[in-house]
A and B are shown apart, each in its own frame.
Chain A
Amino acid sequence: MKFRIYRYDPEKDAKPYYQDYDVALAPTDRMLLDALMRLKAQDDSLAFRRSCREGVCGSDAMNINGKNGLACITNLKDVKEPVELRPLPGLPVVRDLIVDMSPFFKQYHSIKPYLVNDTPPPEKERLQSPEDREELNGLYECILCACCTTACPSFWWNPDKFVGPAGLLNAYRFIADSRDQDLEARLDNLDDPYRLFRCYTIMNCTDVCPKGLNPALAIGKIKGLMVKRAV
Chain B
Amino acid sequence: MSLEGRSVAAAASLPMRRFDAVIVGAGGAGMRASLQLAEAGLSVAVLSKVFPTRSHTVAAQGGIGASLGNMSEDHWLWHMYDTVKGSDWLGDQDAIEYMCRQAPRVVYELEHFGMPFDRNADGTIYQRPFGGHSANFGDKPVQRACAAADRTGHAMLHTLYQRNVRARTQFFVEWMALDLVRNADGEVLGVVAYEMETGDVWILQSKVTVLATGGAGRIFAASTNAFINTGDGLGMVARAGIPLEDMEFWQFHPTGVAGAGVLITEGVRGEGGILLNANGERFMERYAPNLKDLASRDVVSRSMDQEIKEGRGVGEHKDHLLLKLDHLGPEVIMKRLPSIREIAIKFANVDPIREPIPVVPTIHYQMGGIPTNIHGQVVVPRDGHHNTPVPGLYAVGECACVSVHGANRLGTNSLLDLLVFGHSAGGHIVAQNYPAQAHRDLPRDAGDAPRARLARLDAATSGESVPEIANTLRKVMQSHCGVFRNQELLAEGVSKVMAIAEQVAHTAIKDKSKVFNTARVEALELDNLIETAKATVVSAEARHESRGAQARSDYPERNDADWLKHTLWYRDGNRLDYKPVNLKPISVDSFPPKARTY
Write the residues of chain A forming the contact surface with B, with a CB cutoff of 8 angstroms.
Answer: 9-12, 28, 30, 37, 40-41, 43-45, 47-59, 73, 75, 94-96, 98, 101, 105, 109, 113-115, 117, 121, 123-130, 132-133, 136, 140-141, 143-144, 174, 177, 179-180
Contacts and interface: CB of A to CB of B under 8 A. Distances in A.
Contact of B154 (A105, A123, A136, A141): A141
Interface residue range, chain B: 35 or more
B308 interface: no
B464 to A, nearest CB: 12
Given A11-B514, A40-B518, 16 more contacts: A11-B515, A28-B259, A30-B260, A40-B467, A43-B510, A47-B517, A51-B56, A52-B54, A57-B50, A115-B114, A121-B108, A124-B124, A127-B123, A129-B123, A133-B116, A143-B53
Contact of A9 (B120, B226, B515): B515
B114 A114 contact: yes
A127 B122 CA distance: 8
A114 B54 contact: no
B53 A58 contact: yes
Nearest to A52: B226
Contacts of B6: none
Contacts of A127: 119, 122-124
B516 interface: yes
**Majority DSSP secondary structure for residues of A touching B:** loop
B459 to A, nearest CB: 16
Contacts of A121: 108, 112
A118 B56 CA distance: 31
B59 interface: yes
Contact of A177 (B114, B347, B467): B114
B226 A44 contact: no
Given A44-B509, A47-B517, A179 B347 contact: no
Nearest to B53: A144
A199 B310 CA distance: 61
12 contacts: A11-B514, A44-B510, A45-B510, A45-B513, A49-B50, A57-B226, A124-B108, A127-B119, A130-B119, A130-B120, A140-B148, A144-B53
Contacts of B518: 40, 47-48
A123 B104 CA distance: 10
Contacts of A73: 346
B119 A129 contact: yes
B186 to A, nearest CB: 34
Nearest to A113: B162
Interface in B112-135: 112-114, 116-125
B165 interface: yes
A50 B51 CA distance: 11
